[in-house]
Amino acid sequence: MQAEHQDIIDFLRRYPPFDALPLDALALAACSIEVSYFKAGSSILSFGQQVDAWYVIRSGAVEVYRRNGDLYNRLSAGGYFGQFGLLRESSVRFPVTALEDTLAWLIPAPVFHQLFTQYEAFADVVEVEDRTRLRHTVARSEDANELLTSRIDTLIGRKPVTIETSGTVREAAITMSAEGVSSLLVMNAGVPEGAMGNAARMAGMLTDRDLRTRVIAKGLSVDTPVSEIMTPELIYGEHHQMVFEAMLTMMRHNVHHLPVLRQGQPIGVISQSDILRHESQNSLFVVSRIFHANSVEELRALSGEVRACFRRIVREDANSQMIGSAMAVIGRSFTQRLLELAEQRLGRRRCPTVFWRWDRWRVRSS
């Protein structure tokens, strides 16, 4: 087997429905693949067009539409499309457009039909689960919650404000004040702009909270390099993600600012307040209340808000993955806050079992 075919197999087996196929079936698919490249904004499949291959996204992102032009779904690496046309008279039912520069692998129709016919688990995912997934997509009715239908790039009001790692705390504070922002993207001074993309230059994030808790509260000099107080583990979102997805990311990592990238380039930063202004009563607000609770009684009092949050998400037609993700994050937030309160009250030595569980929770959630 050629090395390039092994690379294809290694990629495919990471995603359903390919994870249900044996090695020889994966090898058959890998050997038959043709590669196509589509520029951002270009049409890949048009309604009624004859289709003779199944498309698997290797990199990039695409948007799938209804025939009336409404957005139906959004797919990225590991996603696939064209199967409905292949299974129904070989004509395209859902037009597809490249959202980003996209590299797609085309599996010829005869190979697709062979896999679909011979492997029941593969067929079940393609025909049943994919249809369910497409029914629960981001395109909703006009009165749907905008959290589910708005992209995060609609929240961006300006380009990101940056500072290099060699900059000082004083320079950071002056920049924040002059620009009227609460965060700065910290860029690696040693990597020239454009080399390997701006994503490679991003060293971390610095917020006004960092200045309060890591500089002022600890009495550090204003000449301290920002590289010593920034948050280096940068969590970011992609411009084509929905506001709801950004909200879940911020909840999951308990961050207040989220850089937004387009094709590896930072195009802006959104904050929790941006999302809260966009939708004043949501899961992110509940999580914020959880982390601000100062007693078990205050946490208990939030149970009604959690139930209301659940009912609202269901009522607004979120799919099961969205509902499950939001509730899981809320549950983990309760756990984390309870353990933090236990540490404050009892101390680590007086509750070793609790903190052993805390360590286990942290491992599971990483």
Residue 274 predicted with pLDDT over 80: no
Q: Which of 28-42, 157-171, 240-254 is the least confident region?
A: 240-254
More confident residue, 133 or 176: 176
Ranges of each domain in the chain: 1-139, 152-278, 283-346
What is the DSSP code string of 37-67? EE-TT-EEE-TT-B--EEEEEEESEEEEE-T
Residue 105 contacts residue 137 (beta carbons within 8 Å): no
Q: Check residues 73 and 9 and name the one with the higher pLDDT.
A: 9
Query: Mind listing the pLDDT tens digit for each residue in 281-320?
Result: 456 667 777 888 888 888 988 888 788 777 766 765 566 6
Residue 363 has pLDDT above 50, yes or no: no
Domain 1-139 homologous superfamily, CATH: Jelly Rolls (2.60.120.10)
Four-way CATH pick for 152-278: 3.10.580.10, 3.40.47.10, 1.10.3720.10, 3.40.190.10: 3.10.580.10
Helix (H) or strand (E) segment spanning residue 2: none
- Give the integer Cα–Cα distance in Å for 71 and 74: 8
- How far out from the chain centre does Cα 226 lie? 27
Question: Which amino acid does the sequence have at 342?
Answer: A
Q: What is the largest CA-CA distance in the chain?
A: 72
For the cut 60, the answer to whether the pLDDT of residue 23 exceeds it is yes
Are 237 and 245 spatial neighbours (Cβ–Cβ below 8 Å)?
yes
pLDDT score at 298: 87
277: part of which helix (H) or strand (E)? helix 272-278
Quote the pLDDT of residue 362. 40
Mean pLDDT value across residues 178-189: 89
Cβ atoms of 267 and 296 closer than 8 Å: no
Q: Do domains 1-139 and 152-278 have the same CATH topology?
A: no
Long-range contact pairs involving 12-19 (C-beta distance under 8 Å, separation at least 24): 12/56, 14/78, 15/78, 16/125, 16/129, 17/121, 17/122, 17/123, 17/124, 17/125, 17/126, 18/122
* Res 160: pLDDT: 92
pLDDT in tens, 99-144: 888 999 999 999 999 999 999 888 888 875 444 444 444 333 334 4
- Reported as a pLDDT band with limits 50, 70 and 90, residue 151 is confident
